[in-house]
Structure 1
């Protein structure tokens, strides 16, 4: 089979593979069948899968074991609790579960890269590990992969995410913060309920909650410089259950998005101060439950430049893009080793996490080739920078 025919067959295979993943999506930490399908495809092609302590997800490796530099590629595999309305022929067969963020695309592109690298495995001047990571949407999967030891000894990591705001054929990224740090907060107000006709006998949690909402809106506008970016959004407010009763409690929930550790710390600190002051002022119990999520993706400038150059060499147009307030647990890997996270145009028109979201298949095989080229060329650069040595 000549090269052109083989590439065509591989492109068709990974497209079919993606459609199958899309039909049978699985939620975070429940990706058992997805993991099995990836393992079967890799092992059928002779790609070794590392024996790591992972309930879902897996790590593949190519190249000679324990030799040369180690480059890591990452793809995520989980889906979202969304009822699909995309209208594609391969629509989800699991009601209420959908690949609405394109992780089926990421997984299939990474699988394609593994199969492309397998063709020239003996010529690799080092090793490539490919992380098929679970539970990105819940923000816990990357930490599980790190704990498994999959990054031990690695030199650099690359990741991709499809971007429906970019046209097909465009790869975008930027140095430093590319995505936001993501935190979730819950606030429980405990006061004193009573009859709505005699509010003076109560300590109305709705009034306290209204004051809290107003104060929370000043966390950014009156504490964060206009040179920095941050978002605080309250997304749920609940209190009471009927028209003539003042409730005993109220509940708020929301999210904070920041792009630097100092700003992240300052907003949490000021929120705690606001809540403490409100509790004293209104003689009420106000409890903050702070759930720290992934920090910002912080890209290495050197590896962003490298990744965009490789993209251009593979026929993509490169673009320097703005930071995005979305969250991404790829950032946990960058706390261990340097790397770059790249956005790949997927054609739109619907945004990530939309029930009508879809990825254009024409972007799939070029992305697989791009990932394979990133691995090969970064290995070559790392090997040239230092003599190859065996790793015990």
Structure 2
């Protein structure tokens, strides 16, 4: 077996990352991204499932409105996506699941890589690496500001290894390129399709989050929170603010009342909780009583039960604010995650496997994190069916944090992650 595989494929990893970075797409609109991934996997000989064949369409959450989907579909067709591929993806059914069977008895190992970008305008500052190396986002207001371009490149690198070393492999491999991770919207749709039901070991992870040196990885993580994402629409009555203010029902005030009072939800003694109002819009003019307003909200808790407490209190607060101002409120649920508890037994597996890596310099047993991850649906399904699962971190310097317009990472971390996964696979390889 060629121990230089990672070194040899690194130029391709960088090329894939930069191409994807230039062409970012938001969740459930990753048509071009899905196509590029699928064509590469098809060329390698994987059995691929795309779009409606890869996910349970009815389980998607927070699907964009039809005009946005149509606009992105037309753009992707212009970028070269074949019509036959688009037919499987139309309406926001994106993502790829790739299957490889080595046709020798062994474990079923699954990997997940998220592929979506964020609604952020990327900086054009000269000291921003993508800007001064010619691969800044070409989509105004859309950016890979969380490293998913690198995650996708990692998955493709691992796929190349599997295809090249099939003769030494045993068991089955499922590679999941998941849409709409941002906002906790896509993983459940993949999970509900059944891809994780028979997986024995499941690995996923993230570039960065904690700013470790390149070469340092964490075998497990602790601290991801269960979360619910919701949108609240207040509907009031418009009226002239000077002549007939008493006839108006002010939706803006209802939203403002809700926004401030949501932060007054008592903490929970059972564990950490979070609440955030991330967006508010309302009104049409200074002399008009606002008839409509809109909030984007998220709740979080250490467990599903604690998050449910925050969620129920949030719903009660929203309804109370609406009642106070005599307006209506509609609540849409647009995303969800569960907590993650990694299998500590995989710490030894990963640490021992990476001892011979020329790229991994240190394996931390765990990293403390916060935030939320919809890969939780996948890890929990694997564990509930008797398998083992973990969420890893791959260290890199972070000049700016995730979801920042100047976010970037050291590209060498992509090779580190590929090599770590390769060495995990090597631990279960045939050595005949």
2:122 equivalent to 1:72? no
- Between 339-348 and 247-256, the greater mean CA deviation after superposition: 247-256
* Whole-Å separation in 2 of the counterparts to 1:153 and 1:202: 58
Give the 3-state SS of the residue equivalent to 1:42 in structure 2: helix
Match of 1:224 among 268, 290, 296: 268
Q: How does the TM-score come out when normalised to structure 2? A: 0.75
Give the 3-state SS of the residue equivalent to 1:3 in structure 2: coil
| Alignment match, 2:2 | 3
> Kindly tell me: are residues 246 and 341 of structure 1, through their superposed partners in 2, closer, same or farther at Cα, counting changes over 3 Å?
same
* Whole-Å separation in 2 of the counterparts to 1:354 and 1:143: 26
Q: How does the TM-score come out when normalised to structure 1? A: 0.82
| Alignment match, 1:357 | 407
| Alignment match, 2:159 | 114
* Whole-Å separation in 2 of the counterparts to 1:200 and 1:40: 62
* Whole-Å separation in 1 of the counterparts to 2:216 and 2:110: 22
- TM-superposed CA distance for 1:210, in Å, is 4.4
* Whole-Å separation in 1 of the counterparts to 2:189 and 2:332: 23
CA contact (8 A) 1:237 1:250 kept: yes
- TM-superposed CA distance for 1:205, in Å, is 4.7
- TM-superposed CA distance for 1:275, in Å, is 3.7
Give the 3-state SS of the residue equivalent to 1:336 in structure 2: helix
Give the 3-state SS of the residue equivalent to 1:12 in structure 2: helix
Root-mean-square deviation (CA, aligned residues, Å) is: 3.1
- TM-superposed CA distance for 1:191, in Å, is 6.1
Once the two structures are superposed, residues 109-148 of structure 1 have per-residue CA deviations (whole angstroms, 9 ceiling, x without a partner) of 1222222233432222322221122332354432333344
CA contact (8 A) 1:178 1:299 kept: no
Counting only pairs closer than 5 Å after superposition, residues 256-271 of structure 1 correspond to structure 2 as 256-271=299-314
| Alignment match, 2:344 | 301
- Between 201-210 and 75-84, the greater mean CA deviation after superposition: 201-210
* Whole-Å separation in 2 of the counterparts to 1:299 and 1:5: 31
| Alignment match, 2:232 | 186
| Alignment match, 1:26 | 25
> Kindly tell me: are residues 66 and 7 of structure 1, through their superposed partners in 2, closer, same or farther at Cα, counting changes over 3 Å?
closer
| Alignment match, 2:64 | none
> Kindly tell me: are residues 99 and 250 of structure 1, through their superposed partners in 2, closer, same or farther at Cα, counting changes over 3 Å?
closer
| Alignment match, 1:337 | 382
* Whole-Å separation in 1 of the counterparts to 2:219 and 2:257: 40
- TM-superposed CA distance for 1:330, in Å, is 1.0
* Whole-Å separation in 2 of the counterparts to 1:269 and 1:20: 43
> Kindly tell me: are residues 258 and 309 of structure 1, through their superposed partners in 2, closer, same or farther at Cα, counting changes over 3 Å?
farther
| Alignment match, 2:86 | none
Match of 1:255 among 284, 288, 298: 298
* Whole-Å separation in 2 of the counterparts to 1:298 and 1:343: 14
Say which one has the larger Rg: 1
- TM-superposed CA distance for 1:249, in Å, is 4.5
- Give unmatched runs, 5+ long, in structure 1: 384-392
* Whole-Å separation in 1 of the counterparts to 2:224 and 2:347: 11
Once the two structures are superposed, residues 21-69 of structure 1 have per-residue CA deviations (whole angstroms, 9 ceiling, x without a partner) of 223333333333333333343344x442234613333233334248432
| Alignment match, 1:16 | 15
Counting only pairs closer than 5 Å after superposition, residues 1-392 of structure 1 correspond to structure 2 as 3=2, 6-44=5-43, 46-51=44-49, 53-54=53-54, 55=89, 56-65=94-103, 67-85=105-123, 86=128, 87=131, 88-137=133-182, 139-163=184-208, 165-166=210-211, 167-172=213-218, 174=220, 177-188=223-234, 190=236, 193-196=239-242, 204-219=250-265, 222-225=266-269, 228-304=271-347, 306-311=349-354, 314=357, 315-319=360-364, 320-325=366-371, 327-338=372-383, 339-377=389-427, 379=428
| Alignment match, 1:386 | none
* Whole-Å separation in 1 of the counterparts to 2:116 and 2:340: 19
Structure of higher RCO (CA pairs closer than 8 Å, 6+ residues apart): 1
Equivalent residues, number? 374
Once the two structures are superposed, residues 198-235 of structure 1 have per-residue CA deviations (whole angstroms, 9 ceiling, x without a partner) of 7666655555444433421121xx2422x521211122
